[in-house]
Each structure stands twice: as structure tokens, then as C-alpha cells.
Structure 1
Amino acid sequence: MFHGTITEELTSHKEWSHYNENIIEDQKDFVLVKFNGLHLKSMEGFQSYISLRVCIFSNNFITDIHPLQSCIKLVKLDLHGNQIKSLPESKFWSGLKNLKLLYLHDNGFAKLRNVCVLSACPSLIALTMFDCPVSLKKGYRHVLVNGIWPLKALDHHVISDEEIIQNWHLPERFKAYNHRLFFNFCPSLKKGSTYEDEIGNIKYITSKINEILSHNSPVLIVQRWIRGFLVRKKMRCDWIVRLSWSLVGLTLEKRV
């Protein structure tokens, strides 16, 4: 059972002896770390992981994630199953400009005011916070859905137009929590998955969420129909113009 910092545990514990002896020097080049279920208490030392893109730190005893502030290239961050009760300030999240997937479920968040700092995350598409005390708060989903602008999926369900546009009553197919909007975008970890596997999974999740939205968002459906109409109209106009010029050309030839 590990109870120290990352650097101490990876360089001293016998189970990790297969790691590169120069792991401290190589940290800046790491793009994937997967330390799930190791009973870790601290992320101290992560300031050096400046190239990190996928960080899986689930099922530990972490309470503070400030050391991740230097990992500005993160695309996926999995911190579920820890003991985190508060999140860093908005400046921390605004620096993670590439972060798309954030798993925070099964933690100790209790105040909506604290989790609202995630609104500063500019590219966040999918977020989980179920099994946290805050998820039981009245208006929890409404606050997050309307506070985090780029968000498309929250807690196993893609966000419906009904949740974004106030007082818009839609048919059952388009309502919030409809089975058509269900998508488990945080499946169980696969043992031995590589960085390529993780990046492929991120692309799949992003694509799947967009696909679900394209078929179940009235706004997107109407936009698609209008774009199609305008394209067809433009094509007809272009065809008429070309035909007109052809007729003009034939007329001129005859006169000549």
C-alpha cells in the first residue's frame, strides 16, 4: 500500500522497479500516466509533467490537485474515486485549454459554488460528478449545464436542448434524460491500455456525443435542414446562371 508522493513511490517501491531509473528527468516527456487504485495521497511532483495529455489517477486518496496546474496539454483527466472536496480556482481551469474529458464522480464535492469554477474550462465536453454530495443539490444539473458553455454531456447523459433553452417544452424524444441521450462515456479502465488506445477512446467519445446530438437536438436538426436548403438553393441559382450564360453564348454565336 502506497502512502507517499509520486516521485518517492515510483523510485523506491519494489513493484515499480521496472521503471526507468531516470524517471525524474524523463517526467517532462510523459504523455500518459495511469496510477489508479494505488492508495496514493499526494500528486506532489506532477509539476514536471508538462507534456502530459492523459492523466488517470482514479481510486486513490487524493485531496489536492493543484500540482496539475503545469499540465496545460491535458486532454483527459480522470480523478474519480478520490477524496477531493474542493477544486482549484478558475485560473487553474482556464489554463487547461485542451481538456475535453473530466471525471470527478465519487468524490466529496458538496457545494455548487465550488464546482462552478469549471465554467472557466474552455474546451470541456464531458463531465461526471455523480455520486458526489453536490449531485444531490437542487439545481445541480441546471447550474452546470448552463454554466459550462462547451459542455455537451454530464453524468451519462448528453445534454438536451430542453435543458439549455428555458421554458421550451419538447416532445418526449428530445426531453432530458431520454434513453436516446444516454451514453456511458466513462467505461471501466482496460488493463494495459496504451496512449494510442486512450487517444482513440477520446476521439470515439467525442464523435459519439456529437452523433447523439446531431440526431436528438432540434436546434441542430433545424440548422442542418436550413443549411441544406440554402446549399440547394445556391446550387439551383448557380445552375440557372450557368444556363443563362450558355443561352446568351448560343444567341451571340447565331448572330455572328
Structure 2
Amino acid sequence: MFHGREPEEKGTSSQNPDENSENQLNDVQDFIFLNCHGLHLYALEDSQCYSSLKICILSKNFIIDMSPLKNCTQLIKLDLHSNQIRIVPDGTFWSAMKQLKLLYLHDNSFVKLKNVCSLSACPNLIALTLYDCPVSLKKGYRHVIVNSIWSLKILDNFVVSDEEIIENWELPERFKTLSKHLFCDITPVLVKGSNYEKELFQMNYVISKINRVVAHNSPVVILQRWIRGHLTRRLWLKLSSRKKTFHIEYYH
């Protein structure tokens, strides 16, 4: 299932073939949503991976190679969970994905932690799932992933804690790694009759949930909010005082 702009009405049989080709090219360039959930796909072809794609759902298939997606540099969400992928593409692949925010890779066959760390080249990745993969059983898996992908806010349904980023910082139970307060369910939900607008709404909802948990359970973020509030109040009082002084001098 593809989703793009509404197709234009077909012309008559006398329409110029060159115009038909140009219209077909424009239609291809306008594909922004692909949903191939549970279609028993074994492979992807470069011709199926349009560069205009923004949301791509390929979950619950038998895909073993994601490299044909290298041209989909406009992606903001990619769902490849429950496939048979063993190797994560290198940093060159991910560095081109400058808009990718949500990446679902859980229930695959990734084994090597070093290979998965190539995801660190993805500059704006917010959410990542790798649970139910062999690599998630590796010692120090979470620590390595969290400290490799600097933009990451959540890994496997738990928001990244400040304790994981700042070494040797002892925090109260509420702020500790994998605390129940840091739990945030980002499991992808496929909406019936899904289209780009519905998926985009769902994606923004997930991101807002993550940000809400971060805002209330990150000591660094809470401290920054307090400092900003304090500085704003000081500035406001200073401006109010100057305005009052000017008002008195002007009328005297």
C-alpha cells in the first residue's frame, strides 16, 4: 500500500507519451507512505524504495537485508520489527537519514553490538527498539547503545536516564536506570485503515509522550527549567524596575 498525493484524472488516448512518463515520475516522487505489514516479504528492491518516503512500515515479514532503503533519506519513521535482519548497515547509510526520529528494529537477529553501534551516525534519532534481539542480551548492551547515540531519548520502552549518561552520578530511585517512572510504551500500533496522516499523528503522540516523561524525570532537564524560570523572573523584575524609574523621572 502506497500513499501519496491524489492521482490526477487520466487523459485521453491521444495524450503525449512523454507527458504520461513525466506524470508517472511525479507520482513516484510523491510517495510518502508505505505499509507492507505482514505481507510475507522476503526481500526489498531498490525500485520499491522511493526517495520521497517519510513513513515506512515493513514489520512482520521475512526481510534479511535493509540496505535497499539507502535512498529513502527523507524517512522520519521506519518500522522493521519482527523480520530476520542480521546486519545493521554502516554509518554511511545512517548519516544520510537526517530526519529519522523513530526506528523499530526489535525481534530481529542482530548479534554484534559493534555492528549495531553504527546507528550512532543517525543524527536525530529519538527512539529505538532492539529488544527480543540476541544483541540485547549482551553485557552492557544498553550502556553502550545509549552512550553511542547522543540524540537518543528512549531505548526499548525506557527513557534514557541521566544516570546512564553522567558517569558516577548517584540518583534517587525515581531517576535511576529502568525506573518504573521512566517507562514509556512506544510499541508501534497499526491503526486500521492507516494512512500517512494517521501515522504522523501517532508518531507525534509517541514523541510527546517521551518528552513528557523526560521533562518530569530528568534532574538535568528539571534543573534547567528552574534556572530558566529564575533568570526570566530576574529579567522581568529588572525591566519592571527600569520602567517604573523611567515613569517617575518622566513625570517629575
User: Given the alignment of the two structures, is residue 41 of structure 1 paired with residue 29 of structure 2, yes or no?
Assistant: no
Backbone CA RMSD of aligned residues: 1.6
Distance 1:110 1:95 in 2: 24
How much does 1:169 deviate? 0.8
User: Given the alignment of the two structures, is residue 71 of structure 1 paired with residue 67 of structure 2, yes or no?
Assistant: no
In structure 2, do the counterparts of structure 1 residues 98 and 46 end up closer, same or farther at CA, with 3 Å as the change threshold? farther
- 2:17 maps to none
- 1:54 maps to 55
For structure 2, which runs of at least 5 residues remain unmatched after alignment? 2-20
Cα deviations by residue, 1:135-167 (Å, 9 ceiling, x for unpaired)? 000110001111101100000111111111111
- 1:173 maps to 174
Cα deviations by residue, 1:190-210 (Å, 9 ceiling, x for unpaired)? 232111000001111111111
- 2:97 maps to 96
- 1:196 maps to 197
- 1:129 maps to 130
Cα deviations by residue, 1:209-256 (Å, 9 ceiling, x for unpaired)? 1111000000000000000000000011111111111221222xxxxx
- 1:209 maps to 210
Q: TM-score, normalised by structure 2?
A: 0.88
- 2:224 maps to 223
Instruction: Return the letter of the residue paired with 1:221.
Output: I
Q: Secondary structure at the match of 2:82?
A: coil
Which of 137-146 and 174-183 deviates more?
Answer: 174-183
Does the Cα contact within 8 Å between 1:46 and 1:68 map onto a contact in 2?
no
Cα deviations by residue, 1:29-63 (Å, 9 ceiling, x for unpaired)? 21111111111111113465111001100111111
- 1:244 maps to 245
Distance 2:48 2:228 in 1: 46
- 2:148 maps to 147
Distance 1:202 1:48 in 2: 21
How much does 1:188 deviate? 3.3
Does the Cα contact within 8 Å between 2:182 and 2:213 map onto a contact in 1?
yes
- 2:161 maps to 160
Distance 2:68 2:47 in 1: 5
Does the Cα contact within 8 Å between 2:84 and 2:108 map onto a contact in 1?
yes
How much does 1:27 deviate? 3.4
Does the Cα contact within 8 Å between 1:54 and 1:76 map onto a contact in 2?
yes
- 1:119 maps to 120
Q: Secondary structure at the match of 1:215?
A: helix
Does the Cα contact within 8 Å between 1:29 and 1:50 map onto a contact in 2?
no
Does the Cα contact within 8 Å between 2:56 and 2:78 map onto a contact in 1?
yes
Distance 1:204 1:55 in 2: 17
Distance 1:170 1:85 in 2: 36
Instruction: Return the letter of the residue paired with 1:84.
Output: I
Distance 1:134 1:45 in 2: 28
Distance 1:87 1:179 in 2: 30
Instruction: Return the letter of the residue paired with 1:144.
Output: I
Distance 1:238 1:27 in 2: 56
Instruction: Return the letter of the residue paired with 1:123.
Output: N
Q: TM-score, normalised by structure 1?
A: 0.86
